[in-house]
Amino acid sequence: MKEIAALVPKTSQTIVVSIDLGTSGTGFAYAHVKDTQGKVFNNVDWDGQSFKYCKTLSAILYEGNTRVAIGHNARETINDQEEDSSNNNYHFIEHFKMNFMKDPNSTIHVNGKGFSVKKVMKDYLEEIKTVALEFIKKSETSLRKEMIRWVFTVPAQYDDRLKHELKLIAKEAGIIEKINSEEQCMIVTEPEAAAVYCIEEMKKDREIKKGDSIIIMDAGGGTVDFTTHIINDQMLLREVTQQTGGSHGSTNLDRKFEELLVNKLGQDLIDDLKSNMSSFYNVKVAWESYKPKIRSLNKTYSILVPQLASFIMSGNYHNIKPGFFRTQNATISMTPADLEFVYNETLEQICGLLDQQISKASAELGTERITYLFIVGGFGQCQILTDKIAREFGDQFESIRTPSFAGEAIMNGAALLGINPSLIKIRRARLTYGVETSPEFDTKIHKRENYIRKDGRHLCSKVFHPFVRAGEEVEIGYEAAQEFYALGETAEICVYSSVCDFMDEDVVYVDDLMVSELAVISIKVPQDARTIRVTMIFGKSEFLVKVENDDQEQEEYTLKFDAKSLDMRQ
């Protein structure tokens, strides 16, 4: 494998700014490119937020089509408009990241009005950009846009299409100018960013050593992601397994809590509550504020919800279960059975994913015990979750840690990766990447319907030729290059991907269901030299593809994105 130097921003780019756009909360961090100490700065003072924290709410409020506020300000604005809270002209939108992940072309409907999720993301990121630049300019008075490299973090399960869509939104929001420039913009996964920050922090105290293995569990509002790394001889990270994850974040607890309210109070009451924007969100705030205080599933907790009491007293509801809500002191009484209803499903799903990650890591490393488990993310600070992990998996790790910096680990690690992407030395390919070829026809292995005859040669059409297979290790800067003989005056190199890991002896065709077209690259073929060289360079958060003829000509190409896609630099 060919080793290349770390990709460092150009001289004019002196600042790296990372944005951790989460399901529940969003924050940013920045660092100086030339700061060898790796100091990262966070904003902990957000408008409308009564406490210091590195994130604000991932929420936005519209009045009609006009955005009014984001974050806690958006929620506070609803409360300020309590007299008009039933006015359908107000549209409060949160958790839009999950809508984007499910379908970036989807529409979010609020109070009878639809909002494109892309518009919501764009509007929200515009506001975050403004806050970030104002914060940085307090220290960097001469800051200019061209001095910044932006880094965005995404869940492990984002495919390349979603990463590309995010870049397009960032461009529309005025954050970046070119989507295919790594100097301007990088995308890194949340668990690998967290891994980098955890390891860099441990290096400061000399707690980490060569050969240590680390599983990162990033438990956020929408997703819970896992990645496993080992420390190599250069004290850099080598990815051991493919990153995995699922939509099992803390917002699932909110969904189950709402189901509990329906079961205990009746659907009619909850429907009426939702029609009153202020009352409904006050109930949600009461629950979300109380969640950190719930430390055991074996106790009964009383949650003060005065808005719910006044709402119940003003109506005539007959489906309220006795004992759940006490009107006299305006509290919800959550018993162990209620808590299990809210928590257990999500906890079991997370434990199942962690068990799978441990099994894969142990098999790859040849050991039954991993050195460290780091639990980060906002949901990672939930004691019920960490206690369950410790009970069920404590004997499979030398140490399980929930660091004090769990909330900022992702954004800070992303900033460090923006300065030096080679902190992660080896990654695992998420997909199998290759090109369409036409090898000599072999009656023993090729489909008869794919037989073609061209220039007197017997060929098999539409054969998928892999360069790198899913799950295979790829070092930073690894170049997979192969030469092909081209027929005709112009060669069309069709690039494909697949979620499958094919064996060498497998014959796979590009029109199979599990194979997706990414791009078609055209290049002229010299008459006296018909060799075409295709090079794929892997290992960064994106990779590039080069197509070259024997005259060393390299053609520009336009990339088309399909159901599965690939972000390549032109």
Confidence band for 538, pLDDT divided at 50, 70 and 90? low
Instruction: Share the mean pLDDT of the chain.
Output: 83
pLDDT above 90 for 267: yes
pTM score, whole prediction: 0.76
Q: What is the mean pLDDT of residues 447-470?
A: 86
The whole-angstrom separation of Cα 455 and Cα 468 is 30
pLDDT above 80 for 204: no
The whole-angstrom separation of Cα 461 and Cα 271 is 59
The whole-angstrom separation of Cα 6 and Cα 132 is 26
Q: What is the mean pLDDT of residues 76-105?
A: 80
Q: What is the mean pLDDT of residues 474-486?
A: 76
Please give the single-letter amino acid code of residue 355. Answer: D
pLDDT score at 563: 30
The whole-angstrom separation of Cα 20 and Cα 27 is 5
Q: Which helix (H) or strand (E) holds 114?
A: strand 113-116
Please give the single-letter amino acid code of residue 91. Answer: H
Q: Which residue has the higher pLDDT, 539 or 436?
A: 436
Q: Per residue in 240-257, pLDDT tens? A: 888 888 999 999 999 999
The whole-angstrom separation of Cα 188 and Cα 423 is 12
pLDDT above 50 for 465: yes
Report helix, strand or coil for 214: strand
pLDDT score at 502: 66
Percent over 70 (pLDDT), the chain: 87
Cα–Cα separations (whole angstroms), residue 200 to 39, 55, 148, 197, 234: 11, 22, 23, 5, 13
Q: Which helix (H) or strand (E) holds 276?
A: none
Confidence band for 287, pLDDT divided at 50, 70 and 90? very high
pLDDT score at 317: 84
pLDDT above 80 for 304: yes
Q: Which residue has the higher pLDDT, 183 or 197?
A: 197
Confidence band for 425, pLDDT divided at 50, 70 and 90? low
Q: Which residue has the higher pLDDT, 315 or 185?
A: 185
pLDDT above 70 for 559: no
Q: Pick the closest to residue 149 from 180, 174, 186, 121 (CA basis).
A: 186
pLDDT above 80 for 11: no
- Matching residue, tokens 């969100």: 281
pLDDT score at 12: 57
Confidence band for 410, pLDDT divided at 50, 70 and 90? very high
Q: What is the mean pLDDT of residues 139-164?
A: 86
Percent over 90 (pLDDT), the chain: 39
pLDDT score at 46: 93
The whole-angstrom separation of Cα 539 and Cα 423 is 11
pLDDT score at 137: 92
Which tokens sit at 64? Answer: 């009609």
CA atoms within 13 A on the CB side of 560: 11
pLDDT score at 504: 61
Q: What is the mean pLDDT of residues 154-172?
A: 88
* Segments making up each domain of the chain, as ranges: 15-189, 429-549
Please give the single-letter amino acid code of residue 411. Answer: M
DSSP 396: G
- The whole-angstrom distance between residue 9's C-alpha and the CA centroid of its chain comes to 23
Q: What is the mean pLDDT of residues 232-241?
A: 80
- 75-84, 130-139, 304-313: which range is least confident on average? 75-84
- CA dihedral over 190, 194, 200, 201, signed as positive or negative: positive
Q: What is the mean pLDDT of residues 297-321?
A: 87
The whole-angstrom separation of Cα 259 and Cα 431 is 38
**Is residue 291 within 8 Å of 24, Cβ to Cβ?**
no
Confidence band for 568, pLDDT divided at 50, 70 and 90? very low
pLDDT score at 239: 82
- CA dihedral over 64, 66, 71, 73, signed as positive or negative: negative
pLDDT score at 481: 80
The whole-angstrom separation of Cα 446 and Cα 450 is 7
pLDDT score at 7: 35
Measured at the CA of 519, the angle between CA 514 and CA 522, to 5 degrees, comes to 135
Q: Output the DSSP codes for 72-109.
A: HHHHHHHHHTGGGTT-TTEEEEE-HHHHHHH-TT-EEE
pLDDT score at 141: 79
Q: Per residue in 501-520, pLDDT tens? A: 666 667 788 888 678 777 77
**Sequence-distant (≥ 6) Cβ neighbours of residue 37 within 8 angstroms:** none
pLDDT score at 98: 94
The whole-angstrom separation of Cα 149 and Cα 163 is 17
Q: Pick the closest to residue 426 from 458, 472, 464 (CA basis).
A: 472
Q: Which residue has the higher pLDDT, 83 or 25?
A: 25
β-partners of residue 80 are none
Q: Which helix (H) or strand (E) holds 20?
A: strand 15-21
DSSP 448: G
The whole-angstrom separation of Cα 471 and Cα 346 is 27
The whole-angstrom separation of Cα 495 and Cα 534 is 10
pLDDT score at 1: 31
Q: What is the mean pLDDT of residues 528-537?
A: 77
Q: Which CATH architecture has domain 429-549?
A: Sandwich (2.60)
Measured at the CA of 56, the angle between CA 51 and CA 57, to 5 degrees, comes to 115
pLDDT above 90 for 471: no
Q: Which helix (H) or strand (E) holds 341?
A: helix 336-365
Which tokens sit at 49? Answer: 């937020």
Q: What is the mean pLDDT of residues 308-326?
A: 85
Top CATH class, 15-189: alpha beta
The whole-angstrom separation of Cα 77 and Cα 98 is 24
**Is residue 279 within 8 Å of 311, Cβ to Cβ?**
yes
> Residues 166-175: contacts with CB within 8 Å, 24+ apart?
166/121, 167/567, 169/118, 169/121, 169/122, 169/125, 170/125, 172/118, 172/122, 173/122, 173/123, 173/125, 173/126, 173/129, 174/126, 174/129, 175/125, 175/129, 175/150
Q: Pick the closest to residue 452 from 503, 502, 490, 487 (CA basis).
A: 487
Q: Which residue has the higher pLDDT, 136 or 79?
A: 136
